[in-house]
Structure 1
Amino acid sequence: MYKRILSCALCAAALFSGTIAVPAGSAAETGVHATSVAMTPGEIARWEVLNYAKYSIYSTVKTDAWVALLSEDPEAASIEFLRSPDGGLVYATQRSLNRDEGNKRFLRRLLETHLRAYSPEVYDAANLYLTESASKREQFCHGGGYEAAKARDQRFRADLGEQKRALVEEDRRYVRMLAEQDPGAQVRLAAGYAVRAGSTDDDLTDFFAWGWAQGARLDNESFRERMLRENRQWQQTIARLIVDAEAAEKAARETEGAAGEEARDRAAAAWRKVGADVSPARSKWEEARDFAHRQAETWHAILLAAQQAAQNPNWKALIDPARATETDWTDNRSLAGENVAYWESLLQKALEGEQRIKNPS
Structure 2
Amino acid sequence: MIRTWLAGTLVAATAVISVIPGSPGFAADPGLDPCEFTSGSLTSLLPPEALTVHLAVASPYGAVRAAATTAINSPRGQIALKEFIPTGWCQATDRAEKDAAMNDHIIARVLATHAYETSPWVWSAANAARTASGAEKEYFVRFGLDEARAADQRARDENGANAAALRDFDRDYVALMRDTAQGEQVQIAAAYALRRDATDSDIVDFYTYAWSSFAKLDLERFQLTTAEQEMRWFAAVDRLQKAARDAQTAAEGASGEAQKALQQEAADKWGQVAAGAAPSASGWLTAKQTADAQARQWSAIYQLALRQTGPNWKAMSKPARNNRDAWERDSRNARDRAAYWEQVVEDARAAEEDIRPAG
TM-score of Structure 1 vs Structure 2, range by shorter chain: 0.7 to 0.9
For 2:113, the aligned partner's letter is T
Q: Distance in 1 between matches of 2:123 and 2:21?
A: 38
Q: Distance in 1 between matches of 2:357 and 2:53?
A: 35
Give the superposition deviation at 1:42. Answer: 6.7
Is the aligned partner of 1:138 residue 2:138?
Answer: yes
Give the superposition deviation at 1:80. Answer: 2.4
Q: Distance in 2 between matches of 1:219 and 1:156?
A: 29
Partner of 2:73: 70
Q: Distance in 1 between matches of 2:81 and 2:346?
A: 24
Is the aligned partner of 1:312 residue 2:310?
Answer: yes
Partner of 2:128: 128
Partner of 2:115: 115
Q: Distance in 2 between matches of 1:347 and 1:45?
A: 19
Q: 1:20 aligns with which of 10, 22, 36?
A: 22
Q: SS state of the match for residue 317, structure 1?
A: helix
Matches within 5 A, 1:1-361: 18-20=20-22, 40-41=43-44, 43-71=46-74, 74-83=77-86, 87-142=87-142, 144-309=143-308, 311-358=309-356
For 2:55, the aligned partner's letter is Y
Partner of 1:6: none
Which structure carries more relative contact order (alpha carbon 8 Å, separation 6+)?
Answer: 1
For 2:56, the aligned partner's letter is A
Whether the 8 Å CA contact 1:42–1:79 is kept in 2: the answer is no
Go from structure 1 to structure 2 and tell me whether the alpha carbon gap of 1:245 and 1:100 turns closer, same or farther (over 3 Å shift). Answer: same
The root-mean-square deviation of aligned C-alpha atoms, in Å, is: 2.0
Give the superposition deviation at 1:76. Answer: 4.3
Give the superposition deviation at 1:43. Answer: 3.4
Whether the 8 Å CA contact 2:59–2:223 is kept in 1: the answer is yes
Whether the 8 Å CA contact 2:61–2:93 is kept in 1: the answer is yes
Go from structure 1 to structure 2 and tell me whether the alpha carbon gap of 1:76 and 1:359 turns closer, same or farther (over 3 Å shift). Answer: farther
Q: CA deviation digits over 1:41-70, x for unaligned, max 9?
A: 273443332221111111111111122233
Q: Distance in 2 between matches of 1:285 and 1:344?
A: 10
Q: Distance in 1 between matches of 2:252 and 2:194?
A: 68
Q: SS state of the match for residue 46, structure 2?
A: helix
Q: Distance in 2 between matches of 1:73 and 1:241?
A: 30
TM-score for the superposition, normalised by structure 1: 0.85
Q: CA deviation digits over 1:59-98, x for unaligned, max 9?
A: 1111111222334565543342234xxx211211121111
Whether the 8 Å CA contact 1:293–1:329 is kept in 2: the answer is yes
Q: Distance in 2 between matches of 1:76 and 1:17?
A: 33
Give the superposition deviation at 1:40. Answer: 4.9
Report the identity percentage. Answer: 32
Large movers: runs of 4+ above 6 Å: none
Go from structure 1 to structure 2 and tell me whether the alpha carbon gap of 1:210 and 1:120 turns closer, same or farther (over 3 Å shift). Answer: same
Whether the 8 Å CA contact 1:248–1:266 is kept in 2: the answer is yes
- Which ranges in structure 1 are unaligned for 5 or more consecutive residues? 1-15, 23-38
TM-score for the superposition, normalised by structure 2: 0.86
For 1:104, the aligned partner's letter is D
Q: Distance in 1 between matches of 2:76 and 2:267?
A: 32
Q: CA deviation digits over 1:3-60, x for unaligned, max 9?
A: xxxxxxxxxxxxx9744379xxxxxxxxxxxxxxxx9527344333222111111111
Q: SS state of the match for residue 41, structure 1?
A: coil
Whether the 8 Å CA contact 2:43–2:82 is kept in 1: the answer is no
Aligned length: 324
Whether the 8 Å CA contact 2:20–2:225 is kept in 1: the answer is no
